[in-house]
Amino acid sequence: MELNNPHVFLPLLKHELIRRGRRNKDRLTKQWRFIYAISFVISTAAVATYFSMNYQIQLKYIWYVYWSIPFFIFGFGISKISREWNNETVGWWLTLPYPRHTLIMTKFWAVVIRGTVIAAAVYVLILAFGAYATWISPKLSFSQFGAFAQFGLILLLIDICAFPFTSSVGILYGTLKHTKWRPAIPLFWMIWGIGWGIGGSMGWLRSIQQTFPSTFDVIASIAGAWIVSGFLLLLSTWLLNQKIDL
């Protein structure tokens, strides 16, 4: 199977990781990226300086930005599939001499890897912000910074473990949009809403924000999500094989 053959899978994965859209001319040049980066650093340092000198910053709440990243991964999964239609490369993509499951899996892993890189970069940026705020603030200690770094690392790992699920959901949705099962999209959102409502009523998300659930609950949730991810990827493959609407 091609998925187990690194001579096939790795080149496909590399292609997905470095692939760009057709609007390359609209992308920022290196000079403008540098300008934006410097502006971001200066503005962040100014904000950190002001609030550290005038208020007692609750650093740990900054890490809650991690709750939004899985939703971006969901969007990345959709765009990975939809881009083939938007760039008019779907015919080329589907006629590659590989099983559809291999094509789906390369996009899945490309989204997971991209999300992991983004999450790690966010961790480094927030950690740098926290270190600077601790250094200049008379109300923060480096022992507090250590607890802050540890708390962020836990959230980073939980995020990374969630990426396979949100990536597979995004890929399923992106595939569903371009199949004969397109009318099922409202049903997709209905199931999503019911699942979110049940999870919220159980208080799981609220318990994470206040304290962490037991290790068993976290491991069981991650394992369950990964199993569901496998089924969603198989469903995406089946839709691509049997229900594609060109």
Residue 46 CA, distance from chain mean position: 29
Give me the phi and psi of 27, to 5 degrees please: -80, 155
pLDDT at position 1: 46
Instruction: Return the SS3 of 97.
Output: coil
Tell whether the torsion through CA atoms of 185, 204, 219 and 109 is positive or negative.
Answer: positive
**What is the distance between the alpha carbons of residues 80 and 186, in angstroms, rounded to a whole number?**
21
- Which two three-digit tokens encode residue 60? 């740990």
The pLDDT value recorded for residue 157 is 92
Query: Residue 121: its pLDDT value, please?
Result: 94
Please tell me the pTM assigned to this model.
Answer: 0.82
How many Å apart are CA 119 and CA 124, to the nearest integer?
Answer: 9
Q: How far is CA 95 from CA 37, 47, 49, 145, in A?
A: 41, 52, 56, 53
Residues 6+ apart with CB under 8 A from 244: 94, 178, 179, 180
**Count of CB atoms within 10 A of residue 75's CB?**
15
Q: What is the pLDDT of residue 170?
A: 94
Question: Any idea of the CA torsion for 27, 30, 31, 34, to the nearest 10 degrees?
Answer: 110
The DSSP code for 202 is T
Q: What is the pLDDT along the chain (246 residues), one digit of tens a residue?
A: 455 556 678 888 888 888 655 455 556 677 777 787 788 778 877 877 776 666 667 777 888 888 889 999 999 999 999 999 988 889 889 888 888 999 999 999 999 999 999 999 999 999 988 888 888 777 777 888 888 899 899 889 989 999 999 999 999 999 999 998 888 888 888 887 776 666 555 545 554 545 555 667 778 888 888 999 999 999 999 999 988 876
Answer whether 132's CB lies under 8 Å from 48's CB. Answer: yes
Strand residues in 58-108 grouped as ranges (E): none
**CA–CA separation, 224 and 219 (whole Å):** 8
